[in-house]
């Protein structure tokens, strides 16, 4: 294993790196490794602006929009959430230098602080510092109180019992009427009294 160090990182150090080794027996050179990218934050670039809509306190299931902008330098925007090490979304800006990120059907897990950065135009993997933050708080839907849930359950049981009682009563009435009809037919038939 070999370890390489880059001290005092400069903007020129940004880019893609790969490793390769030379073998002695058998002699030869390996293929290059998978690439890794070194991203450098350049504080000479101004941080982007950010806004959140419709508001910072939202109910679950709502769509939230976060806009990031920098008209002069931005080639691609990244959306960061404070507790996540990697950007959660990235997007190329529209012609006006603004990127629009949508958080769909938000849940309490989406609550947190968000910031933007952007990749600068040009050859290198240079990024702006992260800008100001917006904070999103997703409000869970209230759970009905236990008494209300119990009342609702009791109401359902009462309705089911009422329907069952009405069905039993209706069937009983049907059989009584049907039996009376059979008795009449029997009495009205010839020789009905002898049976």
Could you tell me the residue ranges of all domains in the chain? 41-139
- For β-strands 74-81 and 112-120, DSSP reports them as antiparallel
The Cα 71–Cα 89 span in angstroms is: 19
In total, the chain counts a number of residues equal to 195
What's the fold here for domain 41-139? Immunoglobulin-like (2.60.40)
For residue 33, give every residue at least 6 positions away whose Cβ sits within 8 Å of its Cβ, in sequence order, or none: 18, 19, 20
Q: Contact 193/187 with Cβ under 8 angstroms? A: yes
Model pLDDT, residue 65: 94
| DSSP alpha helix (H) spans, the chain | 146-188
Model pLDDT, residue 137: 93
Residue bearing tokens 């806004």: 51
Question: In a structure prediction context, what are the per-residue pLDDT tens digits for the chain, which is 195 residues long?
Answer: 889 998 888 888 888 899 999 888 888 899 999 999 888 898 988 999 999 998 888 888 889 999 999 888 778 899 999 988 888 999 988 877 899 999 999 999 999 999 999 988 776 788 999 999 999 999 887 766 665 555 556 776 776 676 666 666 666 666 656 656 655 665 665 555 554
Peptide bond into 189 cis (omega under 30): no
Model pLDDT, residue 134: 94
Model pLDDT, residue 195: 45
CB atoms within 10 A of CB 178: 10
For residue 58, give every residue at least 6 positions away whose Cβ sits within 8 Å of its Cβ, in sequence order, or none: 64, 106, 136, 137, 138, 139
Please calculate the CA angle 57-51-99 and round it to the nearest 5 degrees: 125
C-alpha pair distances (Å), 109 with each of 106, 116, 137: 8, 19, 9
Rounded to the nearest 10°, the torsion over CA 70, 43, 51, 91 is: 60
Structure-token pair, residue 72: 């002069």
Peptide bond into 26 cis (omega under 30): yes
């Amino acid at each position: 294993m070999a370890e390489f160090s880059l001290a005092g990182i400069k903007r020129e150090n940004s880019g893609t790196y790969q490793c390769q080794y030379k073998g002695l027996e058998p002699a030869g050179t390996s293929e290059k490794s998978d690439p890794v990218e070194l991203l450098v934050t350049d504080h000479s670039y101004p941080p982007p602006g950010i806004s959140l809509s419709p508001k910072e306190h939202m109910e679950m299931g709502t769509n939230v929009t976060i806009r990031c902008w920098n008209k002069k330098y931005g080639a691609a925007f990244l959306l960061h959430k404070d507790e996540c090490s990697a950007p959660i979304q990235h997007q190329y800006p529209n012609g006006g230098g603004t990127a629009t990120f949508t958080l769909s059907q938000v849940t309490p897990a989406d609550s947190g602080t968000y910031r933007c950065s952007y990749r600068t135009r040009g050859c290198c993997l240079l990024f702006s510092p992260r800008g100001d933050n917006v904070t999103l708080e997703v409000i869970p839907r209230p759970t009905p109180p236990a008494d209300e849930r119990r009342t609702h359950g009791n109401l359902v049981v009462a309705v089911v019992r009422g329907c069952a009682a009405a069905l039993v009563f209706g069937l009983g009435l049907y059989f009584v009427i049907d039996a009376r009809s059979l008795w009449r037919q029997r009495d009205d038939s010839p020789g009905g009294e002898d049976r």
